[in-house]
Structure 1
Amino acid sequence: MALPRIRILATGGTIAGETCPGGDITRYRAGVRPVEALLTAVPELGALATLDAEQILSLDSKDMTPDDWLCMLSAACQALADPAIDGLVLLHGTDTLEESAYFLHLALPTGKPVVLTGAMRPADHPEADGPANLLAAVKLAASAEGVGKGVLVVMNGKPHGARHVRKARTSGLDAFESDPDWTTARPDGRFASLARAPLPRVDILPGYAGAPAKLIDACVADGAQGLVLALSGHGSVPSAWEPSLRRAREHGVAILRASRCAGPVIRNANADDDREGWLTAGDLPPPKARVALMLALAAGWDSATRQTCLPTF
């Protein structure tokens, strides 16, 4: 029986990183090694699948932008449309991996397995985790287990669904976690038919003691079409922000209440969302709520559709 064919799309990240001169393993440059070198370092891959690879970006994922998401989306759609390709693996830095995974989860057509992976240690670390993560990602993408789950993430040998995965710690191989278990993950792809045009700008504003309302005015003046409020508690809006938020709404800016805590933020609880015209994020954390709002705005959803659908993502 022929081995499944898996496309590898590389974007850089720590998995392709190298330690900076001087030998300090806590300092490294991400995205240095080409994808061919990463594959050569894992000879066991040949027993799992027939691979072809493409280097589409070479970034530290802290520098990832929505335009780069569209680059990944285009390459991923091309791969998934190829009848000879059975699954897809994307190599990505860990800092913004959960955002890219969720964007692709919403924007890619469903069907074939799509798995993102990265590393917490650079490629030349004496105990690099990238090779094991790459092996696990290819194994999942080549298996029946990866079908019908939407976009998945594999880190430290553990799969996660894109909807719930998060980088929970700054260091350690177990930096990623998710709840519920990945086996409950389901495909989405509700924006798969969306034109690949530039995404509307949506900013995240943190709520904290004394946060100035001028931050809202500055974002609107600079062209933001949406604002995700990463608020305290149950999405509590500071009273001092309310006039600026009303002005923003008058300018057509979409306002979405989220929380810096674990959700959910419930509509019309602790705020009059209907009166103010605010959206609520449900249990989506602010970075993923931003992704969802960007896509909803790009799709031209009206206010009523946004209010109905966004908390259910």
Structure 2
Amino acid sequence: MSRHIHLLATGGTIAGEADPAGDGSRYTAGVRSVNTLLATVPDLAAAAEISAEQILSLDSKDITPTDWLQILAAARHALADPAIDGLVILHGTDTMEETAYFLHLSLPPGKPVVLTGAMRPADHPQADGPANLRASVQLAADDTAWNKGVLIVMNGTVHAARWLGKARTTGLDAFNSPRPWAEARPDGRFARCEPSTLPRVDILAGYAGAPADLIDACVTAGSRGLVLALTGHGSIPAAWLPALRRARDKGVAILRASRCVGPVIRNANADDDDEGWLTAGDLPPPKARIALMLALATGKPGDWMNDL
């Protein structure tokens, strides 16, 4: 029996076209419609019954939390349809790992959800989008993709959203994962939450001489959470402590992460319990930010941030 796979298109390089004023290295993302992209892969009908909708037409560098909520609403609506067996989302690669992890936390387990994109625009002579789209539909129609959480297909490789990272600026093999996708497990801890907005959470980088006044500036601008992308094992500069305590006393959630590969272990190298700080474990700062945004939107952060 043929599976019914629904496509959500959000733009990205996979729908891009070269800039005629450029030298071939520049292009505009999100130009082509999903129906135009489908026409380049006529053999998809052999893999599954296909339906599609265009919900955004963005370069993924311009994706915002408001856009995440729009993608989430469309994805939840599609997955709730008993006639739909799986979902494929077309997305730009710059922030693919962020959108994928947001959906991994906020979609229910069960039906396959697969993100894909391209490193070359649609009008490139060796465009990689059609092959990625084909492979994504095939995976979404496969029983092995059920109950794995959100998956990503790029360059013939499957990745799990929890571990995916874009590691290179160019090349078809731009993405890495430290663990195989077969080990993935669903999360969906926010699947029953319906936030209308997501609170502002900022990432502050730790580096030699990083100024503490950036902490105060973020709080003044309305941040409800700060993810600290710190050096080493989440080492907080001594000069930051007064500003972090001021932020904490104003109700701002503080989360220690590292710019290195984790983990950041709770109460190791800092008095997290005494200071009221959260820790990211081995989540990289951009993904820790997403988890904290959802946690702040739905309740006390400490109730949601365990075992991410």
Q: TM-score, normalised by structure 2?
A: 0.98
Question: What aligned pairs does 1:61-76 form with structure 2 within 5 A after superposition?
Answer: 61-76=60-75
Determine the structure 1 residue equivalent to 2:123: 124
Alignment pair present for 1:254 and 2:253? yes
The DSSP-based 3-state class of the residue aligned with 1:229 is: strand
Determine the structure 2 residue equivalent to 1:216: 215
Question: What aligned pairs does 1:99-248 form with structure 2 within 5 A after superposition?
Answer: 99-248=98-247
Say if 1:25 and 1:125, in contact at 8 Å, map to a contact too. Answer: no
The DSSP-based 3-state class of the residue aligned with 1:153 is: strand
Alignment pair present for 1:39 and 2:55? no
How many Å separate the matches in 1 of 2:78 and 2:86?
8
Determine the structure 2 residue equivalent to 1:268: 267
- Amino acid corresponding to residue 247 of structure 2 in structure 1: A
After TM superposition, give the deviation of residue 211 of structure 1 in Å: 0.9
After TM superposition, give the deviation of residue 185 of structure 1 in Å: 0.3
- Amino acid corresponding to residue 207 of structure 2 in structure 1: Y
Say if 2:195 and 2:298, in contact at 8 Å, map to a contact too. Answer: no
The DSSP-based 3-state class of the residue aligned with 2:229 is: strand
After TM superposition, give the deviation of residue 302 of structure 1 in Å: 5.2
After TM superposition, give the deviation of residue 23 of structure 1 in Å: 5.4
Determine the structure 1 residue equivalent to 2:82: 83
Provide the aligned C-alpha RMSD in A. 1.0
After TM superposition, give the deviation of residue 87 of structure 1 in Å: 0.4
How many Å separate the matches in 1 of 2:39 and 2:197?
36
After TM superposition, give the deviation of residue 272 of structure 1 in Å: 1.1
Say if 1:121 and 1:128, in contact at 8 Å, map to a contact too. Answer: yes
Say if 1:14 and 1:29, in contact at 8 Å, map to a contact too. Answer: yes
How many Å separate the matches in 2 of 1:143 and 1:40?
23
After TM superposition, give the deviation of residue 25 of structure 1 in Å: 2.4
Determine the structure 2 residue equivalent to 1:283: 282
The DSSP-based 3-state class of the residue aligned with 1:169 is: coil
Determine the structure 1 residue equivalent to 2:6: 7
After TM superposition, give the deviation of residue 196 of structure 1 in Å: 3.2
CA offsets, 1:13-72, max 9 Å, x none?
000000001452210000000000111001111110111110000000000000000000
After TM superposition, give the deviation of residue 301 of structure 1 in Å: 2.2
Determine the structure 2 residue equivalent to 1:301: 300
- Amino acid corresponding to residue 274 of structure 1 in structure 2: D
The DSSP-based 3-state class of the residue aligned with 1:24 is: coil
Determine the structure 1 residue equivalent to 2:29: 30
How many Å separate the matches in 1 of 2:27 and 2:301?
45
How many Å separate the matches in 2 of 1:195 and 1:149?
22
Determine the structure 2 residue equivalent to 1:95: 94
Aligned-residue sequence identity (percent) comes to 71
Moved over 6 A (4+): none
How many residue pairs are counted as aligned between the two chains?
Answer: 308
After TM superposition, give the deviation of residue 274 of structure 1 in Å: 1.3
After TM superposition, give the deviation of residue 10 of structure 1 in Å: 0.3
Of residues 52-61 and 21-30 in structure 1, the stretch that sits farther from structure 2 once superposed is 21-30
The DSSP-based 3-state class of the residue aligned with 2:260 is: coil
The DSSP-based 3-state class of the residue aligned with 2:256 is: strand
List runs of 5+ in structure 1 lacking aligned partners.
Answer: none
